[in-house]
Amino acid sequence: MAKKKTIFVCQECGNESPKWMGKCPACGRWNTFVEETAITGKNDRHTFQVDKDNRSKPERITSIALKEESRIETAMPEFNRVLGGGIVGGSMVLIGGDPGIGKSTLLLQVSSQLADKNLPVLYISGEESTKQTKLRADRLNVTSDQLYILAETNLEHIVAHIETVQPKFLVVDSIQTVYKEEVTSAPGSVSQVRECTSELMRIAKTKGIPVFIVGHVTKEGSIAGPRLLEHMVDAVLYFEGEQHNTFRIVRSVKNRFGGTHEMGIFEMKESGLEEVLNPSEIFLEERSKGTAGSTVVASMEGTRPVLVEIQALISPTAFGNPRRMATGLDHSRVPLLMAVLEKRAGLLLQNYDAYVKVAGGVKLDEPAIDLGVAVSIASSFRDQVPKATDILIGEVGLTGEIRRVSRIEQRVQEAAKLGFSRAVIPSRNLEGWTVPDNIEVIGVETIKEAMDATLE
């Protein structure tokens, strides 16, 4: 017989403890343990008979036959790019983002596009009624008869409706609202999220139905619940952007059927999300030329180069400790680059406040933008205007050297396409590729050489 016992589970990492603790020893978070009921011993849910004739057997890797995964393409090339070329049958995708960022809007648009292809789509809403979903559908001009809306949170009822409708695409919004009656803990707890995701995963793999689940995020921006949730699914997408900005970014951080760190850019309008097919042009259209502290860098987002503007403002501090603030890039990167400029380029920045921003609301984290950030800081400090047609690419080392970066050819080609006439790159990246005809390439070895070449 199965026995019930009380355990305490950390809602951040899923660590279990027989007693309550104020601080989780696994993840170090405070006040995250919640009391739950666990079933131990023999349980009918986990008992099964093994058929010796049908069980899986080891195979030689050279004898395994491969077939290309069939993909369902939506009417959004940007969304297809993030997923690696389209939606794979039987895959499970987790999408997370801040409240009100547009997750439900995006999935309702995708559901409508698939339903227009005569594919039955079941959209399960655990947070809104069917009338509320209908109001959003009218605003998005969703009128397909193959789109079914269900307001339900009981997993057993959801499975029964899946058997009835037999959809080709399934959306669950959100996984934190779905519960299983056999699990005694509250919806959204670690146990409920784990059990419900496992059941939806079984449906996706056995029936070949692509399943999209929406996940809430914590105040730090990560997916709420146990980290196990991200390990179970096939792909994890993050919806980024500022609510006061019209641009939205869908970024892939895990994808078993495509590349990671791919990025799709959308613009939120009255009629829903619209694609931005040339993000570099959009990010640079409001750039102010002839201003000190402004440079342009080329960052790789997956397989796509994106050109963005870096802005820096250096002003004398009014306090004993100067401020170092950064928006859109790593906060620790700014004081590091300022220390390099002080030591290797002779700029006395210790009594100045520094404010660095990536224009357009984009978040950049690759080291190839270091050179652009350093030159923009030096430009604002010296009040010298960088050349408006220059683009800066390179990683800055602690000794002041400019280190090579990857995919330099794609970055320079994107810059040439947008009308830049000169690219300042690491000297070690000069060989092994063909330079476009309409752009000049200058190789630099130190941060001082880069400043001399770009600041007028």
Do the annotations mark residue 101 as ligand-binding? yes
Say how far apart CA 301 and CA 265 lie, in whole Å: 11
State mean pLDDT over 307-324. 92
Predicted confidence band at 281 (pLDDT cuts at 50, 70, 90)? confident
Say how far apart CA 104 and CA 73 lie, in whole Å: 19
Q: What is the tens place of the pLDDT at every residue in 11-22?
A: 777 788 888 999
Domain segments of the chain as ranges: 2-44, 72-277, 282-454
Q: Comparing 159 with 48, which gets the higher pLDDT?
A: 159
Q: Comparing 456 with 236, which gets the higher pLDDT?
A: 236
Consecutive H or E run containing 241: none
The pLDDT value recorded for residue 54 is 56
Assigned token pair, 421: 């006439």
The pLDDT value recorded for residue 185 is 81
The pLDDT value recorded for residue 187 is 87
Q: Which homologous superfamily does the CATH classification assign to the domain defined by 72-277?
A: P-loop containing nucleotide triphosphate hydrolases (3.40.50.300)
Sign of the CA dihedral running 303, 307, 313, 314:
positive
State mean pLDDT over 247-271. 87
pTM of the model: 0.78
Determine whether 388 is exposed, middle or buried from the number of CB atoms within 10 Å of its CB (0-12, 13-18, 19+).
middle
Distances (CA, A) of 137 to 105, 301, 307: 9, 31, 35
56-83: burial string, b at 16+ Cβ within 10 Å, e else = eeeeeeeeeeeeeeebbebebebbbbbb
Q: What is the tens place of the pLDDT at every residue in 24-58?
A: 898 888 888 888 776 555 544 444 344 455 567 88
Do the annotations mark residue 103 as ligand-binding? yes
The pLDDT value recorded for residue 420 is 94
Strand partners, 147: 121
Identity of the highest mean pLDDT range in 105-119, 238-252, 287-301: 105-119
Given a cut of 50, whether residue 172 has pLDDT beyond it is: yes
Instruction: Determine if residue 361 is left, alpha or beta; phi over 0 gives left, psi from -120 to 50 gives alpha, anything else beta.
Output: left
Do the annotations mark residue 299 as ligand-binding? no
Predicted confidence band at 186 (pLDDT cuts at 50, 70, 90)? confident
Assigned token pair, 206: 């056995």
The pLDDT value recorded for residue 43 is 47
Q: What is the tens place of the pLDDT at every residue in 205-217?
A: 999 999 999 988 8
Do the annotations mark residue 89 as ligand-binding? no
The pLDDT value recorded for residue 389 is 92
Question: Mutual orientation of helices 155-165 and 190-207 as an angle, nearest 10°?
Answer: 10
The pLDDT value recorded for residue 224 is 62
Do the annotations mark residue 77 as ligand-binding? no
State mean pLDDT over 255-280. 87
Sign of the CA dihedral running 70, 256, 122, 108:
negative
% of the chain at pLDDT higher than 70:
92
The pLDDT value recorded for residue 286 is 82
Q: What is the tens place of the pLDDT at every residue in 135-153?
A: 999 999 998 999 999 999 9
Q: Comparing 192 with 38, which gets the higher pLDDT?
A: 192
Say how far apart CA 297 and CA 390 lie, in whole Å: 9
Say how far apart CA 450 and CA 444 lie, in whole Å: 6
- Beta strands per DSSP E along 317-398: 324-327, 352-358, 390-392, 395-396
Q: Which residue has the tokens 């794979």?
A: 88
> Strand, helix or coil at 212?
strand
Q: Which residues contact 95 (CB under 8 A, 6 or more apart)?
A: 103, 106, 107, 212, 213, 214, 215, 236, 237, 238, 239, 250
The pLDDT value recorded for residue 360 is 79
Predicted confidence band at 357 (pLDDT cuts at 50, 70, 90)? very high
Q: Comparing 168 with 38, which gets the higher pLDDT?
A: 168
Q: Which residue has the tokens 């063909």?
A: 434
Given a cut of 60, whether residue 388 has pLDDT beyond it is: yes
Given a cut of 90, whether residue 110 has pLDDT beyond it is: yes
Q: Comparing 314 with 188, which gets the higher pLDDT?
A: 314
Say how far apart CA 455 and CA 448 lie, in whole Å: 11
Say how far apart CA 310 and CA 404 lie, in whole Å: 20
The pLDDT value recorded for residue 49 is 43
Given a cut of 80, whether residue 68 has pLDDT beyond it is: no
Q: Are residues 424 and 454 in contact, defined by beta-carbon separation less than 8 angstroms?
A: yes
State mean pLDDT over 268-286. 86
Average pLDDT across the chain, whole number: 88
| Angle subtended at Cα 273 by Cα 271 and Cα 274, rounded to the nearest 5 degrees | 95
State mean pLDDT over 88-110. 92
Question: Mutual orientation of helices 130-139 and 103-115 as an angle, nearest 10°?
Answer: 80
Say how far apart CA 249 and CA 32 lie, in whole Å: 31
Do the annotations mark residue 377 as ligand-binding? no
Do the annotations mark residue 335 as ligand-binding? no
Fold observed for domain 282-454? Ribosomal Protein S5; domain 2 (3.30.230)
Q: What is the tens place of the pLDDT at every residue in 410-443?
A: 999 999 999 999 999 999 999 989 999 899 999 9
Do the annotations mark residue 102 as ligand-binding? yes
% of the chain at pLDDT higher than 90:
58
Strand partners, 124: 150, 172
Predicted confidence band at 243 (pLDDT cuts at 50, 70, 90)? low
Q: Which residue has the tokens 């220390």?
A: 339
